[in-house]
Structure 1
Amino acid sequence: MAVHKAGRKAGRVATAVAAAALIGVAASACGPDEDNGGGAEKSSSSAPESKGPGTKGPESKAPGSDVPASVKGGVITVGDPKAEHTVKVYEDSRCPFCRKFEEGGAQALVGPVADGKVKVEYVIASFLDKNLGGSGSVNAANALRASVEAGKFPQYHAAVFANQPAEETDDAYTPAFLLKIADKVDGLRGGAFDKAVTNGTYKKWVGEAMTTFSEDGVQSTPTVLIDGEKSEGEALYDQGEFAKQLKAAGIS
């Protein structure tokens, strides 16, 4: 197994599934092996149980599902660009610990994002294809970029993690499967989106996002920065504990 190195307005976001995964958890994370390009065991923790393709995870909320996403360089931003606070999330779609963050700590972001108190910046990496073989991480990142143009990034981002393969070694994120996941997001499917997913329209951007990941010096997923400070430990996977970290930074 490879271990990888993230009120009324709130009511409108309650129909989507959580999004976001982070890097840099000492006890449980996924990361590139710089020596040989393979997955490296970083701790004794086992990967969380993943859902099989086509299944839906526990009902949860997607931060910013009623807020348009924007792209600048290799970063996708959700929330009010002028928000006082920033949470930056580094993830790989095949990383099971990223899904675990989605179901846990990420839930504490729903209200603050909806209220305009914080924006979330996503850097979507794709190193697990090199570690584990296949092209699923690249395919998923390309599809997620396409969902920005369709105005459905938070909802689709959540759905991609909710339908994560049962094992991180499963290269299940094919274009066909990613389109099947898109069927679960109202209003996402369409000619432009489907073509982008099938043809890999945003593969160049996927490389740009991976460059951002590397240049930022990130070593694992999920990694989460709260106003530039790294969030670490099991708090990433617990909504209440992560909410305490947000509150300590002035976000609630």
Structure 2
Amino acid sequence: MAQKKTSHRTAEEKAATAAKRDARRARTERARAQAEERRKAAKRKEQMTRFGLIAAVLALVVGGYFLVTSLGSDKPDTAPEGATGNYGMVVGDADAPKSIVVYEDFLCPFCGQLEQTVRDQLDAAVEAGDVKVEYRPLPFLERIDDYSPESANAFAVVLNESGPEVAKKFHDLLFDNQPSEEGPFPSTDEIIDLAVEAGATETDVRPGIEDMAFEGWVDAAGEAASKAGINATPTVLVDGEKVEGQTMAEIAEAMVGTGN
């Protein structure tokens, strides 16, 4: 009897041990499941936070863009005398068989490279009556420095006060003396000195250059270019078609038939 009783207790103990083991396994599984759920919840929270921050940043960027655009549109956008309705200046015979439009920024180094590549040939073609060119300065690089809109405004002032011939010389001098995108950037006095070198009278152009007299017009030029799908400088149109050249030589070839 004693032996049987002992065997019965052993079986009970085994059953209890198995039950404890199963319960422990169940607790472990529940703990793992809970830990996994907490991990997933934390990940979801992290993603939500990240996405929220991204959305907030995007909202600020987009909102800031429209705020700046709105502020810019409130400024007077009176055009300088001699400007076209497309925020540019035309040189050359109005009846020339070839029409070129150049969107440019006086701070853009690639615009400077294009000038170096094609200016002499382009000026010769204009002089021969083969080409007319409309230069449209933009403030696209104002995110880098105020020199971008300041130089475009100065160009407008010189055009208004001194006419297209002097404005073209000033245009060329701005590129001949183009600063690096890293600076240092020309002072207002230095910009005025270039205008005078081009043939402008200092007393005529200094007030408008110092006061950014055509800032609204310059802003409007940038907005119009963006709406027209112009998102880079230089952008060149030949007879209304955008030039897709990958190098300055290819763009020059399309403009005046030279690959120099």
What's the TM-score bracket when you normalise by the shorter of the two chains?
0.5 to 0.7
Say whether residues 1:129 and 2:142 are aligned partners. yes
Q: Does residue 148 in structure 1 map to residue 159 in structure 2?
A: yes
Please, what TM-score do these two structures have when normalized by structure 2? Answer: 0.61
Greater RCO between the two (CA within 8 Å, min separation 6)? 1
Unaligned ranges ≥5, structure 1:
1-34, 38-67
Give RMSD over aligned pairs: 2.5
Secondary structure of 1:184's partner?
Answer: helix
**How far 1:231 sits from its partner (Å)?**
2.1
* Structure 2 stretches lacking a partner, 5+ long: 1-59, 63-80
Deviations 1:12-49 (A, max 9, x none): xxxxxxxxxxxxxxxxxxxxxxx969xxxxxxxxxxxx
- 1:154-193 aligned within 5 A: 154-165=168-179, 167-170=180-183, 172-185=185-198, 187-193=199-205
Deviates more, 1:99-108 or 1:153-162: 99-108
Deviation at 1:234, TM superposition (A): 5.0
Aligned counterparts of 2:205 and 2:247: Cα–Cα separation in 1: 35
- SS of equivalent to 2:134: strand
> In 2 relative to 1, CA 110–81 (structure 1 residues): closer, same or farther, beyond 3 Å?
same
Note if 1:80 corresponds to 2:83: no
The Cα offsets for residues 108-159 of structure 1, whole Å up to 9 and x where unpaired, read as 21122112222111221112112x2x31111100000112120211100000
Could you tell me how far 1:226 is from its partner in structure 2? Answer: 0.9
Instruction: Give me the identity figure in percent.
Output: 31
C-alpha distance in structure 2 between counterparts of 1:233 and 1:242, whole Å: 5
Structure holding more helix per residue: 2
Aligned residues of 2:117 and 2:252 also touching (Cα < 8 A): no
Q: Aligned runs of 1:41-56 on 2, under 5 Å?
A: none
Letter aligned with residue 245 of structure 1: A
Find the counterpart in structure 1 of residue 226 from structure 2. Answer: 214
In structure 2, which of residues 235, 238, 244 is the aligned counterpart of residue 232 of structure 1?
244
Give 2:171's aligned amino acid.
H
TM-score for both structures, normalised by structure 1 = 0.63
Distance 1:196 1:246 in 2: 33
- Cα 1:71/1:229, change in 2 over 3 Å: closer
Correspondence for 1:102 among 115, 121, 125: 115
Equivalent position of 1:196 in the other structure: 208
